[in-house]
Amino acid sequence: MLNDEQRPYTWTSADAAGLPIFPGLARYDEVASGQIQHALRFTLQYSREAFIPPASHWAPNSTNSLAAPMGMRLRLKASYDISSFPPQAAVILAGLKKYGMIMADNGSSMYVSGDPDNRWNNDDLGSLKQVPASAFEVVLMNPIYTPNNLPQGKAPKIGSFTANPPTSKAGQPVVLNWTATGESYFVVTPQVGAVRGSTVTVYPTTTTFYTLYATNQYSRSKKRVTVTIQ
């Protein structure tokens, strides 16, 4: 994903909410620096058929209207005293006061995720279990999307996708060009990945089928071109 472009509504990812996992982890190097400057991902036992952007997907396991929607953001109340917590936990809690945490999946209730690192102090982190759910407040939830109000729109339209030259020798540069409208971002496969603009240079060593994906918040379109290696 490039910057904050929107995944198509109802698309999942490695997280049930359709969010990337790594940006929401508590990472040791951040804690060691003294501050976490982003929201953390967390899980709850139950969720309903709804999501709040930037989440793009729901994975309901409850029909209770009070169950949380994916993407719900909680923030640790400013009044909650964290002065007695050990160093690593205190940094995490300070981050939760400022940036909060976003519900990303079903799982253990109020479980915050971190990256694996041998430098974590498990006793220190264990103190986080002392923080009650009542110490958090729900940040404004708007909009909440359900099957009844899910935004509808047109998929991107790819006008052309060409290779120049279409026939080449192994390892020589080939320029892929395209035109499209209505897209938020592009992905070219294989190997290239997410790109901006309308051109990219590739160096195929064998005959390769390249696919251009144009994506917006509603859907994805694709077009293919072949580069023949002689």
**Looking at residue 214, which CATH number applies to its domain?**
2.60.40.10
Tell me the pLDDT band of 221, cut-offs 50, 70 and 90: very high
Task: Provide φ and ψ at 166, rounded to 5°.
Answer: -75, -20
Mean pLDDT of 98-104: 97
Give the pair of three-digit tokens for residue 27.
């990472």
**Is 144 domain-assigned?**
no
Q: Is residue 222 part of a domain?
A: yes
Mean pLDDT of 58-75: 97
Q: Do 31 and 120 lie in a common domain?
A: yes
Confidence of residue 7 (pLDDT cuts 50, 70, 90): confident
pLDDT at 159: 98
- Mark whether 115 and 181 lie in a shared domain: no
Give the pTM.
0.83
pLDDT tens digits for 149-161?
A: 999 999 999 999 9
Give the whole-angstrom CA distance, residue 226 versus residue 166. 7
What pLDDT sits at residue 1? Answer: 43
State the Cα–Cα distance between residues 25 and 155, nearest whole angstrom: 32
The confidence score (pLDDT) of residue 196 equals: 86
CA separation for the pair 24, 115 (Å, rounded): 10
Same domain, 128 and 171: no
State the average pLDDT over residues 31-50.
Answer: 97
pLDDT digits 0-9 by tens, 171-187? 999 999 999 999 999 99
The boundaries of the domain holding residue 216 are 157-229
- State the total domains in the chain: 2
Residue with tokens 């709804």: 50
